[in-house]
Structure 1
């Protein structure tokens, strides 16, 4: 064996070895001399092991943890838990789309780990919780929008103004979205007959924050739909979209989905926190559970032109479709997938279907049948099993929204073949249905918004026309007072 001096000099130059060894005579073939063996031992002892670290993948961007109520303070089985927002959030909290304002409290600062974790029930917690839920709702719909940002109604011609969130906006049993103020405002109140210390903050309700955020996002997508001069069903779509935002956002979170499956054994028609919207708020107003029950059996003939009731008809139909598809997919995938994962996937796909159907519906005066037909068309285009569309047709028909394109006998008698992917009732997989009653008060009468949330009560949506609202852009006080100002101009002319 021959050992070259240059080899060691090269190693010495790299800092891996600093022992210089003289050149050696060649040893006899097949034998290693004692000197050579000693040199080899010295080399092995002196040379440190070359480290070969395994690279650790790092996220492209940072994110922050928030402590939030997963429903509201009254839903003990979920309570407050950590949530992760995978985007850059500055002290406030604020980011490129949302900012938070609470006088004397904001900006709320991140902790040493960059997280917004505060004791539940404190003003700092309220700021962090409210921001996080708004951000999660926005992110959910942007995922369904192909990752593209969803504009607020005023984000036109390069405008990037944020929406401002006010967790403690004032005294009152309500919450609302205002395009004029570019804001989401959450009020607080003391329930009647309760001590002053028993304050209910609407900002602490996951459902209420998600609902009002739904109004803001839908106003960006369909700015003409908030106008009071649209048919009552159009107003109902706005209220329903808020409630459905709360439902789909809850099911986009694995811990909530898992808790729901365990609580109901996978039966979405069992009583649960999912179907009850705003439990604490509803009880504070004297209701037996939540403010609204999404798992209801209301029909259009039972609600007249009252928008709050009309909205529950649409929400109930979508909730039934969710339960139907979930039951079908759970049975189909029972041996290959955990039921919680099935629920999450079904909810995400139905949310995307509803979202896309709404985007494809008319800019003003949209009816429930418009959204239903878009759901049928899009579902067929995506290759969903025919039974998906059977669920949609049946649930809208049984609530007297649309005509029954196929027989409802199997549905009403409980004999639907819930595990047959190709089931249509009578073999016809139609993708267009008709309005059941063109003379329904939900289409012909003026909107009655007396029982709606604060958003639907705002003057800007009561007096500004659908045509004006549909143009996008900011609203000013003079837009709301336009008719009065015109009268004054004529009088003073």
Structure 2
């Protein structure tokens, strides 16, 4: 079958330069014609100064999702020419620093180098801001940050030619590449994909929260799976944090999270270039641990699918009890934000290295109880991961598997004790996903980086920047030992 790639931006995404300029002019406020003369009203003093912020044009989803296209976002922080701020800087030789217009905004012709810089910066910034809100408004450190190191992460929107995108702790960078599939007339720009950018930024955020998780050495495959799953789930939570995307999803699916849509599909344009109908991955899957081995990309989809099912279950419950007072879009956005916060808190409370799915699921249950969620939340968490063979089922799954869960009952447990927090155990402690070495052959560029494949987990967990010596430490130690024997024989 022919490879589906973007030629020109599809209808709904085209924003020609003259339109972009007209949009910018319309933002300046005020009527376009001279108003009739009349009494001049006395201005009412503003009690607080206006919040600093800037407008930027971005792809609101993958470029192939025509119904969302390119829209304007408002980022409420101080952005310098670059674009850059205290946490993020943008680098594109010959282009950056990109300057703000007279209104202080970053509005550029779509698909221009300047647009790519502004778009990528905005999505990275919004992703970081989402998790900082879940962190109580406190800044989240990158893995190299400390009291004496406040270095930002550098974003390279056009890093070169490759079917790749990755995060590197050594380079303190996010790099996005482009590639032209066979027979295509235009390249696929990975930086233009909302999903790809949020996924890679999620690796950087999680590496700052749990720096010992990203390495292959001393970590089971499930730990790597958590990293990949966190990237995909971040793309979903970011999508549902934005009202226009959430509204478009609800309208397209009639509020059915299991209907075919752009939400569970990751990187549609990137995936289409390789003949994949649902993007690089599909979060709405039915994979169990027995369906996968030790390949981290496959394992990650088990966890991602479990959380996606929980999102659908909790949304169904909240929709049943709040539909008379809130719109489906508002309910979905609130449920997604709540679940994202719950996952964030569970990860923070999980082990510093070697974390397993059962570790995180156990923390999901405990954190849900601590914040006094209805018992049905914990029932959904345990049931969905029990079905996927991640944890032992606390009760019979007959009602779940027969479709007889009482989704309108906040105290529903399926026969368990609503007041007791069950102990969470792995369903199969001999699973290859827990005992084998990590196979990262199908993972994204981040998980393929040498620094994350050879540096021990304990070294990664100590935080701080990585150097080439860290990456070559094992080989250098062997050389020193070998050369030391030469010295002894002289």
Decide: shared fold, TM above 0.5. yes
Deviation of residue 170 (structure 1)? Answer: 1.2
Deviation of residue 325 (structure 1)? Answer: 0.5
* Contact kept in structure 1, 2:394 and 2:422, CA below 8 Å: no
The match for 2:426 is 435
Q: Does 1:123 pair with 2:113?
A: yes
* Contact kept in structure 1, 2:199 and 2:232, CA below 8 Å: yes
* Contact kept in structure 2, 1:377 and 1:432, CA below 8 Å: no
The match for 1:30 is none
* Contact kept in structure 1, 2:63 and 2:192, CA below 8 Å: yes
Q: Does 1:329 pair with 2:305?
A: no
Encode CA deviations 1:30-58: one digit per residue, 9 max, x unaligned: xxxxxxxxxxxxxxxxxxx9986422355
Q: Does 1:281 pair with 2:270?
A: yes
* CA distance in 2: counterparts of 1:82 and 1:72, whole angstroms: 15
Q: Which 5+ residue runs of structure 1 have no aligned equivalent?
A: 1-48
Q: Which 5+ residue runs of structure 2 have no aligned equivalent?
A: 1-38, 485-490
The match for 1:240 is 229
* CA distance in 2: counterparts of 1:51 and 1:246, whole angstroms: 47
Deviation of residue 171 (structure 1)? Answer: 1.1
The match for 2:182 is 192
Q: Quick one: which of 406, 415, 419 aligns to 1:417?
A: 406
**Rg comparison, structure with higher value:** 1
The match for 1:465 is 456
The match for 1:66 is 56
Which of 1 and 2 has higher RCO (CA within 8 Å, sep 6+)? 2
The total of aligned residue pairs comes to 443
Q: What TM-score, normalized by structure 2, do the two folds share? A: 0.89
Q: Does 1:223 pair with 2:211?
A: yes
Deviation of residue 285 (structure 1)? Answer: 1.3
**What is the CA RMSD across the aligned residues, in angstroms?**
1.3
**1:296-445 map, 5 Å:** 296-429=285-418, 430-445=421-436
* CA distance in 2: counterparts of 1:324 and 1:64, whole angstroms: 37
| CA gap 1:422/1:290 in 2 versus in 1, 3 angstroms | same
* CA distance in 2: counterparts of 1:126 and 1:391, whole angstroms: 40
The match for 2:123 is 133
The match for 1:93 is 83
Deviation of residue 226 (structure 1)? Answer: 0.7
Encode CA deviations 1:164-212: one digit per residue, 9 max, x unaligned: 00001111111000000000000110012323xx100100000000000
Deviation of residue 262 (structure 1)? Answer: 0.4
Q: What TM-score, normalized by structure 1, do the two folds share? A: 0.88
The match for 2:17 is none
* Contact kept in structure 2, 1:397 and 1:403, CA below 8 Å: yes
* CA distance in 2: counterparts of 1:288 and 1:59, whole angstroms: 49
* CA distance in 2: counterparts of 1:298 and 1:357, whole angstroms: 22
Deviation of residue 488 (structure 1)? Answer: 2.5
* CA distance in 2: counterparts of 1:391 and 1:238, whole angstroms: 22
Deviation of residue 491 (structure 1)? Answer: 3.6
Deviation of residue 73 (structure 1)? Answer: 1.5
The match for 2:6 is none
Deviation of residue 486 (structure 1)? Answer: 2.0
Deviation of residue 228 (structure 1)? Answer: 0.3
**1:255-274 map, 5 Å:** 255-274=244-263
* CA distance in 2: counterparts of 1:423 and 1:109, whole angstroms: 55
Encode CA deviations 1:297-319: one digit per residue, 9 max, x unaligned: 00001111010000000000000
* Contact kept in structure 2, 1:386 and 1:423, CA below 8 Å: yes
